Amino acid sequence: MVNVGIAGASGYTGLELIRLLVKHPEVRVSALTSETYQGQRVADVFPALAGHIDLDFVRLDSSLTKDCDIVFLALPHTTAMNHVPGFLKDNCRVVDLSADFRLKSAEVFETWYSVAHSQQDILGQAVYGLPELHREQITAAKLVANPGCYPTGVILALAPLMTTDWVDLGSIVADCKSGVSGAGRKPALNTQFAECNEVVSAYGLGTHRHTPEIEQEISTLAGRELRVTFSPHLMPMTRGLLSTIYLNLVRDLTLDELDKYYREIYKNEPFVRILNPGVFANTHFVVHSNYCDIGLQIDARNRRIILTSAIDNLVKGAAGQAVQNMNLMLGIDETTGLDSPGIFP
């Protein structure tokens, strides 16, 4: 059995990790941290976990490594990065769910996060943890930077087209909608019930921090610097993330050709499902699962491809993908602990 720890286990992604890992046959959950609930029984604070976990929350400090072979950091960005060197020094592998190690360039990080990266010497060790793109590197990694939720949905939808000459790669627009759990459990005005119920609102237009992450990965695939217009929206739902992505066609393309191509690219991917032509991605069909559903359409009148993708922001967009990465790092079947359908209704 491999001993795993979760730093930030009282947050939404931390709790999702607990839910997945207590049912995982190859690991033992051995340490859970929370500054707020330290010293309290996990199952007393979160009764949904009663009967499944027999631990107290502990403070996050370096002693975590004595109990763990691998640690998930489900911490706010810029907090996570300061803990990574200590874990790596003690031979503890790390899957960081924050944004701290996702961007390869410290300058780009500083531009978008308005703070200097404090661990520039280990930035180069981090592997971007999107298994569909970087499976081999993840398998050998000591430090995996788990992707953001929006980038996961957008990059998986776009990736196959980045190596074709079918579209104008300067024309990418990603219009995305997320459930409120995407903002985490910490209290904030915009996630209070009266502020986010019965309302759809755009935020972060042209400035959202997931933009450089999407651009980094699609640029690498395309072999040249690409930009996207990324427009996130907050939806009055708890979980789920839908992306609708537009690209201008530069040649005639049928839906049948597009469908065949996507199916070929993703034929061996356990967690990417290409929807039948005419079916569009829907968060109802992926929530509580590790699937990313991708729907395809050709808008022939306007010579555009319209892609849709749906994920659960807390599963394929965070904890599920983190477990998928852990499985790869440990050399166990990638789908272990994750192979279940979404919950609908």
Residues that bind ligand NAP (CB under 6 A): 8-14, 34-37, 60, 74-77, 79, 97-99, 148-149, 181-182, 184-186, 313-314, 317-318
Report, in Å, the least distance between residue 162 CB and ligand NAP. 22
Strand runs labelled E in the chain: 2-7, 27-33, 57-58, 70-73, 93-96, 127-128, 143-145, 173-178, 201-202, 229-234, 241-248, 272-274, 292-299, 304-311
Report, in Å, the least distance between residue 302 CB and ligand NAP. 33
Report, in Å, the least distance between residue 171 CB and ligand NAP. 27
> In whole angstroms, what is the distance from residue 95 CA to residue 71 CA?
6
Report, in Å, the least distance between residue 120 CB and ligand NAP. 19
SS3 193: helix
Those residues whose C-beta lies under 8 Å from the C-beta of residue 105, and which sit 6 or more positions away, are none
Which CB atom, from 13 or from 289, has the smaller least distance to ligand NAP? Answer: 13
Report, in Å, the least distance between residue 296 CB and ligand NAP. 25
Which CB atom, from 305 or from 314, has the smaller least distance to ligand NAP? Answer: 314
Which CB atom, from 59 or from 263, has the smaller least distance to ligand NAP? Answer: 59
Query: Is residue 71 left, alpha or beta, with left meaning phi > 0 and alpha meaning psi from -120 to 50?
Result: beta
97-135 burial code (b ≥16 CB/10 A, e <16):
bbbbbbbeebeebeebbeeebebeebbebbbbbbbbbbb
The angle, 0 to 180 degrees and rounded to 10, between the axes of the packed helices 211-222 and 149-158 is: 30
Q: Name the residue whose CB lies closest to ligand NAP.
A: 11
Active site residue 196: no
Which CB atom, from 16 or from 334, has the smaller least distance to ligand NAP? Answer: 16
Count of other CB atoms within 10 angstroms of residue 216: 19
Report, in Å, the least distance between residue 311 CB and ligand NAP. 10
Which CB atom, from 308 or from 313, has the smaller least distance to ligand NAP? Answer: 313
User: With helix as H, strand as E and coil as C, how does 238-266 read?
Assistant: CCCEEEEEEEEECCCCCHHHHHHHHHHHC
Query: Is residue 113 left, alpha or beta, with left meaning phi > 0 and alpha meaning psi from -120 to 50?
Result: alpha
Q: Of 129, 159, 148, 133, which Cα lies nearest the Cα of 327?
A: 129
Of residues 149, 176, 196, 292, which has the active-site annotation? 149
Which CB atom, from 99 or from 167, has the smaller least distance to ligand NAP? Answer: 99
Q: Which two tokens stand for residue 332?
A: 């166990």
By the 8 A CB rule, do 344 and 285 touch?
yes
DSSP 8-state code for residue 58 = E
Catalytic residues: 149
